[in-house]
Structure 1
Amino acid sequence: MDIRFDAAEVRYGARVALEPLSLSLSERRIGVIGLNGSGKTTFARLINGLVKPSAGKVTVDGLDTVDDAKAVLARVGFIFQNPANQIILPIIRDDIAFGPKSRGVKGEALDRAVNAVLDRFSLTELADRRPHELSGGEVQLAALAAVMVMRPEIVIFDEPTNQLDLKNRALVERAIRGLEENAIVISHDLSLIADFPRVLVFDRAKLVFDGGAQEAIRFYREIALR
């Protein structure tokens, strides 16, 4: 993984969503923390091109998120804060199949791809259910499966344990820790990123700390409680 920010910033008129930022990311697990409205989600959405920089640029493995938007989207999966919003078909199996079908995968190849990802995330018994019949953690896994069937190299999670109970939180945490792919995790759940090799702290649209998890968490607590 090679993600680079080159003086990338985001502004909406007079409002600054992210101050100019230059850094490189290569670690397999990266945490992103900060208060609400601090810029962390804007930062993450720059990586897969959901947000375009107002100035500067962002590249993923050498691909510009603006000029090479389609290739970047294929490389970077994104799990939204409310994953139910990205499940677009009424049956879980059909929703997971939607992405590969849109790329022309069909027949036995499609069945193999869908069954493999269902098995990977222990969703086989839930494949024919509707999203409202699943627990919060199971919905997260269904959304993750729909992203992973597309075989991205990087997965971004936006508050993956938000409003989950202990059981469902553990379900999602195990899934994230078991990923072979690179993961960037935005979270208010500090224990989720407590052993990550690198954690970024955002405050008031600016990156204010970049380092190991424990140091970053201590720094974040200082600014959050000041």
Structure 2
Amino acid sequence: MGIVLDGVDYAVMGRPILQGISLALDEPRIGIVGRNGSGKTTLLRLIAGLVAPTTGRVAVDGIDPARDRKGVLRRLGILFQNPDHQILFPTVAEELAFGLRQMGQEARAAEAAVMRLLEAEGRAHWAGSATSTLSQGQKQYLCLQAVLMMEPGTILLDEPFAALDLPTRARMARRLSSLAQRLVTISHDPEAVVGCDRVIWIEAGRVFADGTANEVLPAFQDAMQRLGAGDADIDIAG
């Protein structure tokens, strides 16, 4: 059934962040682009159920993600830009088991599932390692594996390559491309979504363009280059 946003507005203390968003997202690879502050990350948070719309409706496979957090766990996972904002537990095994425990799996079964995963990935020696000792790329890998443990049908990716060096970015891109899940990638970087089936451009809280990558990205890049050619940041916001 995919992701549906129907007439969605979102405001904070009366200030509109998103306005009039109506989308039906069911393609395998979806990109959402926009400048910083355009509202694209807020859109991701609405889809994930981390915030509820001020008006309108959000549904993931027919479930309201903000109202039914447990029901949406198997349907939707999220990978944040900064893994340090996502990792909760002191060891790798505990972090990987957390989602399974949330879904009602007993501790022993969750631990066994974690070890099977780590062994299959050639990382059994990671189990007792402190998450704080991992590199940025290893932390991002851990967060992705924690999401995959719950077998969601869709994964939301918030600037998944922003904090990675080039070799780690290449490895992450290769891993993501191999996944069967629907991927919704949010980024200000056109390169991150160039292979997507559909790209949505968010500008000033509204859908500015919606089409194939070949249709949307050249126009987005041209607009960003024009903005970059001027002194767009000289004014102080009032």
Question: By the TM > 0.5 criterion, same fold?
Answer: yes
Deviations 1:97-128 (A, max 9, x none): 12223444236532342134335655434333
Partner of 2:229: none
Partner of 1:32: 32
Give the counterpart letter for 2:62 in structure 1: G
Asked if the contact 1:29–1:183 (Cα under 8 Å) also holds between the matched residues in 2, the reply is yes
Asked if the contact 1:136–1:168 (Cα under 8 Å) also holds between the matched residues in 2, the reply is no
Deviation at 1:203, TM superposition (A): 1.0
Distance 1:134 1:62, change over 3 A: same
Secondary structure at the counterpart of residue 142 of structure 1? helix
Separation in 2 of the partners of 1:35 and 1:116?
Answer: 41
Partner of 1:162: 162
Separation in 2 of the partners of 1:143 and 1:89?
Answer: 11
Distance 1:210 1:119, change over 3 A: farther
Asked if the contact 1:79–1:157 (Cα under 8 Å) also holds between the matched residues in 2, the reply is yes
Asked if the contact 1:4–1:60 (Cα under 8 Å) also holds between the matched residues in 2, the reply is yes
Partner of 2:55: 55
Secondary structure at the counterpart of residue 148 of structure 1? helix
User: How much is the aligned-residue C-alpha RMSD, in angstroms?
Assistant: 1.9
Deviation at 1:69, TM superposition (A): 3.8
Specify every segment of 5 or more residues in structure 1 that has no aligned partner in the other structure, as ranges. none
Give the counterpart letter for 1:81 in structure 2: Q
Separation in 1 of the partners of 2:147 and 2:24?
Answer: 24
Distance 1:124 1:171, change over 3 A: farther
Asked if the contact 2:73–2:103 (Cα under 8 Å) also holds between the matched residues in 1, the reply is no
Partner of 1:117: 117
Moved more, 103-112 or 154-163: 103-112
Partner of 1:84: 84
Secondary structure at the counterpart of residue 43 of structure 2? helix
Separation in 2 of the partners of 1:110 and 1:69?
Answer: 20
Secondary structure at the counterpart of residue 64 of structure 1? coil
Moved more, 3-12 or 129-138: 129-138
Partner of 1:126: 126
Partner of 1:178: 178
- With normalisation by structure 2, the TM-score equals 0.87
Moved more, 98-107 or 45-54: 98-107
Partner of 1:95: 95
Partner of 1:135: 135
Distance 1:122 1:49, change over 3 A: farther
Specify every segment of 5 or more residues in structure 2 that has no aligned partner in the other structure, as ranges. 227-238
Separation in 1 of the partners of 2:157 and 2:87?
Answer: 15
Separation in 1 of the partners of 2:116 and 2:153?
Answer: 17
Which entry has the higher C-alpha Rg, 1 or 2? 2
| Aligned length, in residue pairs | 226
Partner of 1:42: 42
Distance 1:88 1:107, change over 3 A: closer
Distance 1:219 1:125, change over 3 A: farther
